[in-house]
Amino acid sequence: MLLREGLASLLIGSSFDVVGRAGDPEELLALVRSHRPDLVIVDIRMPPTRTTEGLEAAQVIRRELPETAILLLSAHIEVEQATELLASGRSTGYLLKDRISDVEDFLATLDRILKGAAIVDPALVQELLAARRVDDPLEDLSPREREVLTLMAEGRSNAGIAHQLWVTEGTVEKHVRSILMKLRIPEAPDDHRRVLAVLAFLDSH
């Protein structure tokens, strides 16, 4: 409630048009169906059990209104929840609630989601990459390739990665190809499926 109002206030102040605020999944779905917003921001913990109701509501929205961008906020991060959401389609984000406080970054993330990106919280990617593995395939990667993989997993496009690393997009493409080959991850037709493939790889190794 407190957070929702703070968030709404932030969005209004950042030239977003907040068309509705809901306290439970039913209310949320009713609002979404009537207002057809561009973006829905959902807390994964909603009444009645405050476990995964938000995720379920997001899935319903995805099925009914696939064009609606969805940002799922969570108090903690789980790879299963991330992949479940990302598997439903593009224009998707899965972030820790904490990310709201970094206002600029947060608003930029919203923009990317609205433009179709699939975004995964860096903390989750960090956890996946940091996991100790027996015969770790990631050991074959160069430090640069690791950086690129991290950004891929977070849902950055090649352009985004190039921008982030101050390199050309061509360089990024080279790295990406090398990474996919080394890890034997199949090429994905779009960024959001690439995120899924990378997450699936990291989760299963």
Task: Indicate the residue among 17 and 104 with the shorter CB distance to other proteins.
Answer: 104
Give the neighbor-by-neighbor strand order of the sheet with 118-120: 39-43, 69-74, 92-96, 118-120
Q: How far is the CB of 158 from other proteins (least distance, A)?
A: 27
Q: How far is the CB of 154 from other proteins (least distance, A)?
A: 17
Q: How far is the CB of 24 from other proteins (least distance, A)?
A: 14
Question: Which among 61, 110, 106, 108 is positioned nearest to 85, based on CA atoms?
Answer: 61
Task: Indicate the residue among 100 and 172 with the shorter CB distance to other proteins.
Answer: 100
Task: Indicate the residue among 15 and 130 with the shorter CB distance to other proteins.
Answer: 130
Task: Indicate the residue among 130 and 189 with the shorter CB distance to other proteins.
Answer: 130
Token code pair at residue 182: 């080394």
Among left, alpha and beta (phi > 0; psi -120 to 50; other), residue 118 is beta
DSSP one-letter string for 2-67 = HHHHHHHHHHHHTT-------SSHHHHHHHHHHH--SEEEEES--TTTTSSHHHHHHHHHHHH-TT
Binding site for other proteins (CB under 8 A): 2-3, 6-7, 9-10, 13, 45, 50-52, 75-76, 78-81, 96-98, 100-103, 127-128, 130-134, 136, 203
Cβ within 8 Å of residue 74, ≥6 positions away: 43, 44, 45, 81, 94, 95, 96, 97
Q: How far is CA 205 from CA 4, 94, 135, 162, in A?
A: 37, 21, 9, 27
Task: Indicate the residue among 100 and 162 with the shorter CB distance to other proteins.
Answer: 100
Q: How far is the CB of 72 from other proteins (least distance, A)?
A: 13
Task: Indicate the residue among 13 and 189 with the shorter CB distance to other proteins.
Answer: 13
Q: How far is the CB of 84 from other proteins (least distance, A)?
A: 9
Q: How far is the CB of 123 from other proteins (least distance, A)?
A: 9
